[in-house]
Amino acid sequence: MQVFETPIKGLLVIQPTIFNDSRGYFFESFNQEKFNNLTKTNTQFVQDNRAFSSFGVLRGLHYQNNPHAQAKLVSVLHGKVLDVAVDIRPNSETFGKHFSIELSAENKTQLFVPRGFAHGYVVLSDTAEFFYKCDNFYNKNAEGGIAFNDPQLNIDWQIDLSKAIISDKDLVNPSLKSISLD
């Protein structure tokens, strides 16, 4: 596995080593010891989540407030998504900056999203199955969200947003400048 830094400290792109032959392919999608050594973290994942969605479904931007903040290791098992992480760490030099990357079943790329980020994605293929590991358990009372179309963030979701499929909850998320972060 190879780990690549992004312009936002702590946000890492992970490319697994894939072994192809006439039968297909094999790769180790996660190994705790290798992951922690290569990312220079001590992340211990405790929960796995999967979501299936159709083209244009936009989920996000979500985060969990402290002490329930979550680091995530995200990937796509089927299809293709545009994955977006926004730095919401109050004292970060890149606060309010975002990073986006195409994750797909084909490229098998993963993104490590540390605690202190809002996260979301939009499905770019007919359907997609999204998979992510979390280092903290979900807590409904700690939910937070930021508007996917916040002009301060200026995220290019790579689809016509008038055709996006967005939950009622995500349609009313506040702007980044109006949320309170601890």
**Sites in the chain below the pLDDT cut of 70:** 182
Active site residues: 62, 132
Q: Which residues pair with 10 in a beta bridge?
A: none
Q: What is the pLDDT of residues 19-41, one digit of tens each?
A: 999 999 999 999 999 999 999 99
Q: What is the pLDDT of residues 158-175, one digit of tens each?
A: 999 999 999 999 999 999
- Whether the Cβ atoms of residue 139 and residue 68 lie closer than 8 Å to each other: yes
Round to whole Å and give the CA distance between 75 and 147: 23
* pLDDT on residue 180: 80
Round to whole Å and give the CA distance between 127 and 26: 23
Helix (H) or strand (E) holding 62: strand 58-64
Domains in the chain (CATH in brackets) are 43-178 (2.60.120.10)
* pLDDT on residue 151: 96
* pLDDT on residue 74: 98
Round to whole Å and give the CA distance between 80 and 122: 9
Query: What's the predicted TM-score (pTM) here?
Result: 0.95
* pLDDT on residue 181: 77
Backbone φ and ψ for 4, nearest 5 degrees, come out as -120, 135
